[in-house]
Amino acid sequence: MKLPSVLILMSAIAGIGLFAQSNLDIEIKDQSSLVRVGMDPHPTDSTDIALAYTLLGAIDHNHSDSIVYVRDAWRLKALDNKTKDKAYSTLSYILSRYLSPKQFNTTDGLFDKLTDDLYLYFTNNDFENLKKYLTLKYELNNYRPRSVKEFIEQRTFFEDFLMFNDPNRNSWDCTDVVMNILPINEGDKIADIGCGFGYNSVRLKDKVGDTGVVYATDTEGNYIDYLNNFLNKNYIKGIIPVKSKSNDISVNDTLDMVFMSSLYHIIYTWSREDERRAFLTSIKDRLKEGGYFVIVDNINNHGDELNNCHVSPILVEAQLGYWGFKPVKYQQLSDQRYISIFAKDSTYHPNQIFDDPKVNPILHVSNQKSVIHIGSLDSYDITDKGIDAAQYVYDFLGNGDTSLANIAIEKYNDLIPQENFGGEYSALQWLCETMVAPEKVRNERLSDRLSRSFYNTMTADSCKISRYYLLHKYKLGNDSIRMLSDSILEMSGEVGRTHRSYLEDYILALNPNRSQWENTNVLLQRLGVVEGDTIADIGSGSGFFTDKFSTLVGNTGHVYALEIKDEHIKSLTDFLTEESISNVSVIKGREDLLELPQPVDKMFMCSLYHIMYGVISDRDRDTYLKSLVTQLKDGGELIIVDNSPVDDDTLPYHGPYISKELIIDQLGFYGFELVDYLQFIPQRYMLKFKLNKRAL
């Protein structure tokens, strides 16, 4: 349902031009998210580690009973966890074939050759690569990667290989059905975008015949290298591997079809706007008029999505419509997968506008941009100029040469307006300025207690934390130096990666220059937090807003700071202790449930809802929002601050964004009425909702 008051307010906002006129409208029928790029779909637990150690020992000592035990355990995991980690299916296949090779007779078909090659890849040389995979994934035998880059790349290679070339893939991917649906003629030229290790490429080649060509493209060079080697040793012609780019498919030919499987959800939510535009332009330029663009992707399965990811086919249709791709066929393949087929039609423009009033809310799609962007592992792309400036900061922090700091300051003056809004550049600049400032100026800068805490943290122990972060974030020095810095802090691959993620969050959130670029004071005045209020700061991080709320609510009010990450909790707790702040309680949060000692007057989320919408599963988010309703007083306020899409001529916020309509529409199903909206800078907005429990 949709609350009438929300419809009225949205109509009023649209009437004054804050929401753009749309060419395509999407009806929101329930509280589910339209897109999700979820958490790590391959988590590890103690059972996995024990099985890995058992198998390593069984292989070394040829204990077939132990191999059977691990095989059976993996087989059960594949069944119980069928939507999450396809590696279990492939691993159990490998061990079954090793134990009973005669039961796996293969033919000369290309698919069988791919399966044979996968099996040999992991079993040759006494299971050399399987041992490498288990050792790396579970960090067995005190495994230490030379670098986080190595750790991520090798782990991703193994996991993708095991999933993409799963011999049982047809059972969950509906590959045979897809191939039968495709409008392919013998002799066609096809690009298999994001080909991985060739699973679909060999099938597409079978469809186009001896006179057709399949360009197998992928941005991962080691995947292309593998496919090249496979094709050469099996004397397979007509499949041409191509190392593509994030902004270009890199195929120099006119194509009859572009095929893309399990990739568009990344293009939609992960790629930068300029990269996605260039990438889709390269597809349109290479595809002949009337040629087909085929998308196979995951459908929303309410928390059981394949690989924790999905993108609504209507979002895909809306975006591709602006590129002149006309929808010609859609079919749901299973409860996890769908296929959408588009034809290139230069005369086509999306024009689906609901003229009649609807009960359900409407998402207005007015251009080719994504309505939500989650972003990459780093908050923004690292550029050559950014690395250059970071090197000067790193060297200054190491030897105290103020001339290096001054150079870094000037470089950031030039860089910030060009490539980084709201990111860490201004924090690093502030750190340099404060360290080289005269004592009086420095003391003035440090009069703010949060800035003082930030400065002390970043400069403690000869700036160890700052130098460690710069060293790894900007890949300064070499692999040996970075590995040594990890060893000093006793960090392995995954632990080190998590720690650096915390440091990035800490620097971004507690940036002493934040109030300048964010107009924080304008926002705080609009929030209406007064003395005596109780407020929950959900996703408090290391306490930027917690500190400000503490001052606003005074001794008669209270702030509950909820945070999931332990390092942020420790950082905030230490700060509160140092500053003797007694009206704040820090609470270890959960992703699926909100728990407070008492109902509160206000709840506040900053730069968090895009994660709740596009990362957390429908099931967990629904449970969380329902618990939130019980913890907020009737008539209480939920305040959302998040990042906004911007016009092409405006520098975007450094990381993710979400269209405000998605939040308004989703929260309407939980009894929240939008009562205030503030676009306090082009890159950030505030939405204030009032809870009406009687409407539920």
- CATH code, domain carrying 572: 3.40.50.150
Is-contact 291 283, C-beta < 8 A? no
Report the distance separating Cα 539 and Cα 541, nearest Å: 6
Cα–Cα separations (whole angstroms), residue 72 to 76, 196, 426:
6, 28, 54
pLDDT digits (tens, 9 = 90+) for 490-544: 455 555 567 778 899 999 999 999 999 999 999 999 999 999 999 999 999 999 9
pLDDT digits (tens, 9 = 90+) for 609-652: 999 999 999 999 999 999 999 999 989 999 999 999 998 888 88
- In which domain, by residue range, is 460 found? 384-419+424-509
Paired tokens of 128 = 């050399």
Looking at the fold, whether 330 and 198 belong to one and the same domain comes out as yes
Q: Which residue has the tokens 């096809």?
A: 190
Looking at the fold, whether 597 and 489 belong to one and the same domain comes out as no
Total-model pTM: 0.88
The pLDDT-based confidence of 102 (bands split at 50, 70, 90) is confident
Report the distance separating Cα 320 and Cα 314, nearest Å: 10
Looking at the fold, whether 299 and 431 belong to one and the same domain comes out as no
Most confident of 29-43, 304-318, 402-416: 402-416
Residue 174 lies in a domain: no
Lowest mean pLDDT among 99-103, 245-249, 679-683: 99-103
Looking at the fold, whether 144 and 237 belong to one and the same domain comes out as no
Q: How many domains does the chain have?
A: 4
If DSSP codes are grouped into helix, strand and coil, which group holds residue 426? helix
Among residues 164, 192, 225, the one where a domain terminates is: 164
Residue 484 lies in a domain: yes
> What pLDDT score does 604 carry?
98
Report the distance separating Cα 247 and Cα 278, nearest Å: 5
Looking at the fold, whether 483 and 524 belong to one and the same domain comes out as no
- In the predicted structure, residue 17 carries a pLDDT above the cut 60: no
Looking at the fold, whether 338 and 414 belong to one and the same domain comes out as no
> What pLDDT score does 420 carry?
81
The pLDDT-based confidence of 363 (bands split at 50, 70, 90) is confident
Q: What single letter denotes the amino acid at residue 495?
A: V
Checking DSSP bridges between strand 362-365 and strand 24-27, what pairing results, if any?
Answer: antiparallel
- In the predicted structure, residue 6 carries a pLDDT above the cut 90: no
